[in-house]
Structure 1
Amino acid sequence: MQKHSLIAVAVAFLAAGCTMAPKYERPAAPVTNTFPTGGVYETQPGAAQPGGAGARSANGQAAADIGWRDFFVDPRMQRLIDIALKNNRDLRVSVLNMQASQAQFRIVGAGLFPTLDAAASQSKSRTPKNLSVFGNTISNSYSVGLNASWEIDFFGRIQSLKDQALAQYLSTAQARKAAEIALVSQVANQYLTVLELDDLLNVTQGTLKTAQESYRITKLQFDNGTGSELDLRQAETVVEQAGANLQSQERLRAQAENALVLLLGEPLPADLPPGLTLSDQNLLTDIPAGLPSDLLTRRPDIMEAEENLLAANANIGAARAAFFPKVSLTGSFGTLSPTLGGLFKPGSAAWSFAPSITLPIFEGGENKANLDLANIQKNVQIATYEKAIQTAFREVADALAARGTYDQQIQSLERNTFAQQRRLDLSNLRYTNGVDSYLSVLTAQTDLYSSQQSLITARMERLQNLVTLYQALGGGWIEHSGDQPRPADAPVDYGAASAPKAASAATAG
C-alpha cells in the first residue's frame, strides 16, 4: 500500500508541470544607464511656452501615469481620440489577434488533462460457416461506455508548449496595448497637421490678397505709363506663386482630413466641440524622461518583445522533451452484449486498460534539428528584444533633443517674422516715396511669407514632438491621471461603438 502511494505521489509531481526549458535570464539592456545630457539636451522648456499660453506642469509624474485627457486639453482632439479608440480597425485587429492567442493558449493547456468521451456502437459481421464455431454466420455486437486517455507529461513537453502559448498570448496583449498607445499619438499628430494646414491656408490667403492688390496697382501704373512692365511681371509672379501654393495647401488639407477619418474609423461627426488653434495647444512640456531602465516596464513594445523571448525559451523545453519517452494511458469501461436488450443486464460489463510508452530511437535527426531551430529562434528573439530597447532609447533621446531646441528655434522665427514684417513696411514706404524699386517690396513680401510658413511649421513640429515624447515614454494607455491602469489583455466591447455619422466638410480643424 505504501509503495503504491509513493508511485502516485511521484506521478502527480512529474505531471504537475516540471519542464526542461532553460532558466530564463533577462538580457542586459544594450544602452547606457542614462539618457544623453548636455548640449541640445541641456536646455529644456522654461516657464512660458512659445505662442503665449502659460505652460502646464506634469509635476514630476511619469508619462505612463498621465492620462491622455490630461495631456491633451483640446476638447475637439479629446473627442477625436475617443472616437478612434472605439472604431479604429487596426486596433480591432490587434484585439482580435489577442483573443485568438488566448483561445490557442486554452487549446494547448487542455493537453495537460485527461480526455473522457462517451461512446456507443453497434457492429454486425458475417463469418463463413466452415469457420464458425457455433454455426452462426451472422454475429451482432452492441456496446455503450466511456473512453478515457491521458498523456502523462513526465518530461514537461506539454507544459512547455503551454508556457509558450501563454507567452505568445501575453505578447499579443502587449501588442494590443502598443497599438492603442500609438493610435492616441497618431490621432493627435494628424489633428495637429490639420491645424497647421489651416494656419498655412490663412497666411497664403492673406498673402494672395495682398499680392493681388499690389498687382492691381502696378497694372494701373503700367497702363497709365508711369510703371514698367518689369514691375508688372514681378507682381504677377508673386500672385501666381501664392495661387499655386493655395491650391497645393487646400489639397494637402483635404488629404490630411481623409487620413484623420481613416484613423477614426468613421466620418467626422458634425457635432464636434470647438477646438483650440495651433498656437493655443497647451501640452505638457516638462514630462520627466526618467531612466532607460524604466522603459522596460513602461513600453509595451519592449514587453511584447520579451514575451516573444519567453515563448522561444519555453519552446526549447518542448524540443528537449521530444528526446524522451511519451507515456500514455488509455482505457474504457462500459457494457458489451450481442443484443441491444442485453446491454445493461448483469454480467455485460466490459473494460480495458492499455498503457503505452513511445521512445524515439531513430528519426533521421529530426529531434536534433528541432532543438537547433528552437535555440536559433531564441537567439533571434534576444536580438529583437535588444533592438526594441535600442529603438526606444533612440526615440526618447531624439524627442529630448528636439524638446531642448524647439522653443529657442520658435523664438528666433518669431523675431525673424517680426523683422520681415517691418522690412516689408519700410520697403513699401521707400517705394511709395520713390526711393527704391518695386523689386525690394516683392522680395520683402516673399521673404515674409516664407518666414510665416516656417514659423507655423515649427510650432506644429514642436507640438508633435511633445506627443511623440509622451508616447515614447509609455504615455497614452490610461484616460485620466490617477486611473488604475487596465491589464494589457483587458476585454473590449465593440458592440457599444457609435454608428457612423454623416460627414461634415472642414470639421476637423
Structure 2
Amino acid sequence: MRFRSLFPALTLAGTACSMTPALTLPPPPVAAVYPAAAAGTVFAVPDWRAMFGDPRLQRLITLALAENRDLRIAARNAEAARAQIRVQRAQSLPSVGGESGYTRQRQPSNVAGAGVGLTPITGGARGIEFGQFTVQAALTAFEIDLFGRLRAMNEAALQRWLGSEEGRLAVRLTVIGVVADTYFAERLAEGQLRLTTATLENWRAALDIARRLKAAGQASGVDLAQAEGQVRQVQADLAQRQRELALATNALTLAVGAAFPADLPSPIGLMDQPIPTALAAGTPSDLLTRRPDILQAEHELRAANADIGAARAAFFPRLSLTAAFGVASAGLSGLFNGANQTWSFSPSLSAPIFRGGELRGNLDLARLRTSVAVATYEKTIQTAFREVLDGLAARATYATQSAEQREVARHAERREALALLAYRAGMTGRLELLDAQRSGYGARQAALAVRREELASATALYRALGGGVSRLAPSP
C-alpha cells in the first residue's frame, strides 16, 4: 500500500462540519453621535509625530518605543500567541516520521516453530537466532477532523493572536501617551522652578528696598518683617519646586525605559508647546475600527465563541489514523527489494461514553466565557465613549480657560509693577505691594498649571480616539 492511497481519507479533515455558533457582534451600547461633537467634522487623528511637535519629546518617544519594558512584554506576548498558532495548526496536519533500526533476537524452536522460512544461524534444534533490518515512514495518530474540533481550536488560536497584536498596539499607544504626559509634567515643574527663582530674585530686591526705607525711617518694622517672611516663603517654595522637578524627571526616565542621551534637543517651554488641541472626534463607530483595546476585546470574543465549537465537537466520535510503510529484511544488502515491503493501516474510532460531566462542564464553561467576553467588549466600548466625551468637554473649555488665565497673569504682573513703583515713591504702603506680589505669583503659577492640564487633556483625547495607529495586515 502506498501513502497516496491515504489521501482521500486525509482530505476528510478539510471538509469537516462546524460546531461553532454563528457570531453576531452586539450593537455598540452607546449613542450614535457625541453630544459635544461639532456637526460635519472630519475624523482624522494625526500620527504621533504630527501630534507632538517638540523635537525633544519626539526623541524621547522614539527611545521609549524601543526601550519601554511594558512594550517589550506586549511584543513578546504577541510573538508567543503567534507561535501557539503554529502549534495548534500542526495538530490538523499529518505527522509523518521516519525511522530505521536493526533487531537481533533468539527464540526457542518450540516458540518460533519449524518451517516458517527462517534459516537458523546458531543454536541448532534448541533455538533460532536471527537479525532484521527495518526502514519505514509512519503516520501517527492523525485525527480526521470530522466535526470541526481542530478547526475551531485553530480559529480560537488565530483570534487570540490577533487580539495580542491589538494589545501590543494598545500598549504602544499608552507608552506614547504616558511619555508625553510625564514630559509635560516635567515641563510644568521646570517652568514653576524658573518662575519661583525669578520671583525670589524680585522679592529679595523688594526686601532690600524695605531695609533701606526702614533705615531711613520711612518704613516700619512691620513692613520689614513682612518682606523677610515673603522671601522665606519663596525660598521654601524653591526647595519644593526643585524636588518636584527631580521627581518628574525620574518619572519620565521610567516611562522612557532608558537613560536620556546626551544629544537631546533643547526643550520647548510649557506655554509654547506646539500641540494641536482641537482634534476632530468623528463618530463613535470610528472607535470600533481604530481603538486597539476595542479590537482586542472583539478578537477575544471571537476566540471564546470558537471555544464553544471545540467544546461541542468533543461530544462526537473522533476518527484517528495510524499507518506505516517501509521495508524489512534479514540482510542489509537486499533491504530495498520490492518483495521486502511492509505496511500497516490502523484507523480507529473513539466515542465518549462516560466522562463524569466533564464534556458538559467544558461546554457550559465555554458559553459562560463567551458571555463574559460579550460584556467585556461592551464595557470597553462604553469606556472608550466616555473617554472621548471627557476629551471633548475638555477641548471645549480649556482653550478659553487657558487664554483667560494668561490674561489674568498679565494684568497681575502689571499691577505688581505699578504697586512696586508706588511703594518706592512712598505713595502706598507695604501691604498693598505684598498683596500685588502674591497675586502676580499665584496668577503665573495658575497659568502654568492650566496650560499643563490643557496639554494633558489633548493627549488623553488623542489616546481616546485611537492615536493615529496605522495597521498592516498581519500574517500568522
Partner residue, 2:43: 62
Structure 2 unaligned spans of 5+: 115-125
| Alignment partner of 2:79 out of 99, 109, 112 | 99
CA contact (8 A) 2:136 2:326 kept: yes
Partner residue, 1:146: 137
Q: CA deviation at 1:473?
A: 0.9
Q: How does 1:339-354 map to 2 (within 5 A)?
A: 339-354=331-346
C-alpha distance in 2 between matches for 1:182 and 1:263: 10
CA contact (8 A) 1:184 1:476 kept: no
Please state whether the residue corresponding to 1:267 is helix, strand or coil: coil
Q: CA deviation at 1:332?
A: 0.5
CA contact (8 A) 1:414 1:455 kept: yes
CA contact (8 A) 1:153 1:159 kept: yes
C-alpha distance in 1 between matches for 2:393 and 2:41: 19
Q: CA deviation at 1:75?
A: 2.3
| Alignment partner of 1:448 out of 440, 447, 451 | 440
Q: CA deviation at 1:137?
A: 5.6
C-alpha distance in 1 between matches for 2:104 and 2:361: 48
| Alignment partner of 1:122 out of 92, 102, 120 | 102
Partner residue, 2:56: 76
CA contact (8 A) 2:85 2:154 kept: yes
* 1:96 alignment partner AA: R
Partner residue, 1:24: 23
Partner residue, 1:112: 92
CA contact (8 A) 2:41 2:281 kept: no
Please state whether the residue corresponding to 2:19 is helix, strand or coil: coil
C-alpha distance in 1 between matches for 2:268 and 2:158: 45
C-alpha distance in 1 between matches for 2:10 and 2:343: 23
Q: CA deviation at 1:327?
A: 0.5
Q: CA deviation at 1:438?
A: 2.0
C-alpha distance in 2 between matches for 1:464 and 1:455: 14
Q: Which deviations, in whole Å up to 9, do the C-alpha atoms of 1:412-460 show, x marking residues without a partner?
A: 2123223323433444355445555423322322222111111111112
Q: Which deviations, in whole Å up to 9, do the C-alpha atoms of 1:381-426 show, x marking residues without a partner?
A: 1111111101110110001000111122123212322332343344
Q: Which deviations, in whole Å up to 9, do the C-alpha atoms of 1:49-95 show, x marking residues without a partner?
A: xxxxxxxxxx965344x222222222222222222223323222222
**CA separation of 1:426 and 1:339: change in aligned 2, threshold 3 A:** same
* 2:66 alignment partner AA: K
- Please tell me whether Structure 1 or Structure 2 has the larger radius of gyration of its CA atoms: 2
C-alpha distance in 2 between matches for 1:11 and 1:73: 59
Instruction: Count how many residue pairs are aligned between Structure 1 and Structure 2.
Output: 460
C-alpha distance in 1 between matches for 2:219 and 2:109: 128
**TM superposition score normalised by structure 1:** 0.83
* 2:394 alignment partner AA: A
* 2:25 alignment partner AA: R
Please state whether the residue corresponding to 1:362 is helix, strand or coil: coil
CA contact (8 A) 1:164 1:311 kept: yes
CA RMSD of aligned residues (A): 2.8
Q: CA deviation at 1:275?
A: 4.0
CA contact (8 A) 2:192 2:448 kept: yes
Residue 90 of structure 1 pairs with residue 70 of structure 2: yes
Please state whether the residue corresponding to 2:127 is helix, strand or coil: coil
C-alpha distance in 2 between matches for 1:185 and 1:17: 47
Partner residue, 2:400: 408
C-alpha distance in 2 between matches for 1:114 and 1:214: 89
**CA separation of 1:8 and 1:139: change in aligned 2, threshold 3 A:** closer
Partner residue, 2:127: 136
Partner residue, 1:163: 155
Q: Choose 330-339 or 113-122, whichever is displaced more.
A: 330-339
CA contact (8 A) 2:42 2:282 kept: no
| Alignment partner of 2:350 out of 348, 358, 379 | 358
CA contact (8 A) 1:177 1:488 kept: no
Q: How does 1:68-467 map to 2 (within 5 A)?
A: 68-127=48-107, 131-134=111-114, 135-136=126-127, 138-149=129-140, 150-222=142-214, 227-432=219-424, 434=426, 436-467=428-459
Q: CA deviation at 1:306?
A: 0.3
* 2:413 alignment partner AA: Q
C-alpha distance in 1 between matches for 2:111 and 2:270: 98
Q: CA deviation at 1:177?
A: 1.2
* 1:258 alignment partner AA: N
**CA separation of 1:218 and 1:156: change in aligned 2, threshold 3 A:** same
**CA separation of 1:191 and 1:490: change in aligned 2, threshold 3 A:** farther
Q: CA deviation at 1:206?
A: 1.2
C-alpha distance in 2 between matches for 1:224 and 1:490: 85
* 2:54 alignment partner AA: D
Please state whether the residue corresponding to 1:347 is helix, strand or coil: helix
C-alpha distance in 2 between matches for 1:430 and 1:357: 103
Higher RCO by CA contacts (8 Å cutoff, separation 6 or greater)? 1
CA contact (8 A) 1:172 1:304 kept: yes
Q: CA deviation at 1:110?
A: 1.2
C-alpha distance in 2 between matches for 1:9 and 1:126: 41
Partner residue, 2:472: 487
C-alpha distance in 2 between matches for 1:488 and 1:63: 20
Q: Which deviations, in whole Å up to 9, do the C-alpha atoms of 1:286-314 show, x marking residues without a partner?
A: 32211111100011110001001101000
Q: CA deviation at 1:10?
A: 9.1
C-alpha distance in 2 between matches for 1:217 and 1:136: 124
C-alpha distance in 2 between matches for 1:61 and 1:84: 31
Q: Choose 462-471 or 146-155, whichever is displaced more.
A: 462-471
Please state whether the residue corresponding to 2:134 is helix, strand or coil: strand
CA contact (8 A) 2:394 2:454 kept: yes
Please state whether the residue corresponding to 1:332 is helix, strand or coil: strand
Q: Percent identity?
A: 41
C-alpha distance in 1 between matches for 2:445 and 2:149: 64
Please state whether the residue corresponding to 2:366 is helix, strand or coil: helix
Structure 1 unaligned spans of 5+: 45-58, 478-484, 492-509
**TM superposition score normalised by structure 2:** 0.88
C-alpha distance in 2 between matches for 1:92 and 1:10: 44
CA contact (8 A) 1:185 1:476 kept: no
CA contact (8 A) 1:63 1:475 kept: no
C-alpha distance in 1 between matches for 2:317 and 2:475: 40
